[in-house]
Amino acid sequence: MGESNVVSKNSLYTTCPKKCDEDARVSAMLLSTAVVYPAVLNAAIELNLFEIIAKATPHGSLVSSHEIASKLLNQHPDLPNRLDRMLRLLASYSVLTTSTRTTQHGATETVYGLSQIGQYYAPDATRGYFASFASFLSCPALSPLWLNFKEAVVDADVDLFKKLHGVTTYQYMEKNPKMNEIFNKSMADLCVTDMNRILDIYNGFEGISTLVDVGGGNGQNLKMIVSKYPSMKGINFDLPQVIENAPLLSGVEHVGGDMFASVPEGDAMTLKLVSSLDNLMFITAGGKERTEKEYENLCKLAGFSKFNVACHASSGPGVMEFYK
């Protein structure tokens, strides 16, 4: 008789659980060491590694750790090896692409390029830039919050930042120009990513004479809107310490103040990225992310007559409209 191709049912039950358990073990290990990735990412940003790779010539060329090391100010014999260890980790998170090539001495070396994800960490005025936001999340003032996250859960005082530092996040940044600068830049850089999509599909700004951006940072949001609708006047409204560093923008007036006291008048107001990123708000302001239904209820409770989700520009809720 020939060999049987029948697979024992019991063998399937014994093999699959072992593989599933191994996958689970590896995943658990990755999650347990996840703190390493943001540290390496932040170091790569501070060393301008993404920019160096992006500028490789000809455009799109893959570069080795030795070539990247040659562009850095601090030099020592082990620098290429240390960089390579960082680059391998970034590649494992699909931030970089990898390949191999043979050197002139016959050795094999790994070379790196920017993946589609990695391109968001290289400066680009038209695409958007996530490096500044990653740098903000790595600010020394925020590090104790991540390490004491449990306190935000069990303590009735949910503003963990205020509990640890004695002041709110914005009060702290008022006295810390460097953190304030990183925060404002990160908000402006994130704005480009979202607004490019929104302006392509949303026409709700048409016909507005004066648009007030509440919590508008350095004015990047209004700059993009007014560029598309040049007859519009934009009023960029934010805290005084934010406005004092805002650049001069055509068609945009910068106004400092407190939105909880009063806001400038206009035909319409826009608020962007002021109520997102659930767990970050959890530890810095005691806030939370809301569902679409919760936003609708908030709209009605505030006295507005109509709520409308105008479009979904990305994975977030898109543009929500509140009508008087």
CATH number at residue 176: 3.40.50.150
Angle between helices 220-228 and 177-201 (to 10 degrees): 30
In a domain, 314, yes or no: no
What is the band of 17 on the pLDDT scale with cuts at 50, 70, 90?
confident
Residue 286's pLDDT is: 64
Residues 208 and 243 in one domain: yes
More confident: 8 or 114:
114
Contact between residue 316 and residue 289 where contact means Cβ atoms under 8 Å apart: no
Residues 156 and 282 in one domain: yes
Residues 248 and 162 in one domain: yes
Residue 160's pLDDT is: 86
Res. 217: pLDDT tops 80:
yes
Would you call 213 helix, strand, or coil by DSSP?
strand
Res. 54: pLDDT tops 50:
yes
Q: Which residues are CB-contacts of 302 (< 8 A; sequence separation ≥ 6)?
A: 322
In a domain, 177, yes or no: yes
In a domain, 64, yes or no: yes
> What's the whole-number mean pLDDT along residues 123-130?
79
What is the band of 316 on the pLDDT scale with cuts at 50, 70, 90?
low
Residues 117 and 225 in one domain: no
Res. 189: pLDDT tops 50:
yes
Tokens of 61: 């060329």
Residues 101 and 161 in one domain: no
Residue 7's pLDDT is: 46
Start-to-end CA distance of the chain, whole Å, equals 84
- CATH for 78: 1.10.10.10
Residues 215 and 275 in one domain: yes
Q: Which residues pair with 96 in a beta bridge?
A: 114
In a domain, 303, yes or no: no
In a domain, 50, yes or no: yes
In a domain, 99, yes or no: yes
pTM as predicted: 0.78
Residues 108 and 142 in one domain: no
| Half-sphere exposure for 201 (CA within 13 Å, toward CB) | 12
- pLDDT tens for residues 128-184? 789 999 999 999 999 998 888 888 888 876 788 888 999 988 899 989 999 999 988
Which domain covers residue 173, as residue numbers? 131-289
In a domain, 66, yes or no: yes
More confident: 57 or 35:
35
- pLDDT tens for residues 62-76? 999 999 999 999 999
Residues 165 and 115 in one domain: no
Helix boundaries (H) for the chain:
9-32, 36-46, 49-54, 65-69, 79-92, 131-137, 143-147, 149-154, 160-165, 169-175, 177-201, 220-228, 240-243, 278-284, 292-301
Last residue of a domain, one of 121, 142, 160: 121
Residues 63 and 141 in one domain: no
More confident: 275 or 21:
21
- The total number of structural domains in the chain stands at 2
Integer Cα distance of 289 and 275 in angstroms: 6
Residues 105 and 206 in one domain: no
Integer Cα distance of 21 and 31 in angstroms: 15
Cis bond upstream, residue 247 (ω within 30)? no
Share of the chain above pLDDT 70, in %: 89
Res. 276: pLDDT tops 70:
no
Last residue of a domain, one of 121, 139, 160: 121
Residues 147 and 244 in one domain: yes
Residues 260 and 156 in one domain: yes
In a domain, 89, yes or no: yes
Most confident of 2-6, 124-128, 264-268: 264-268
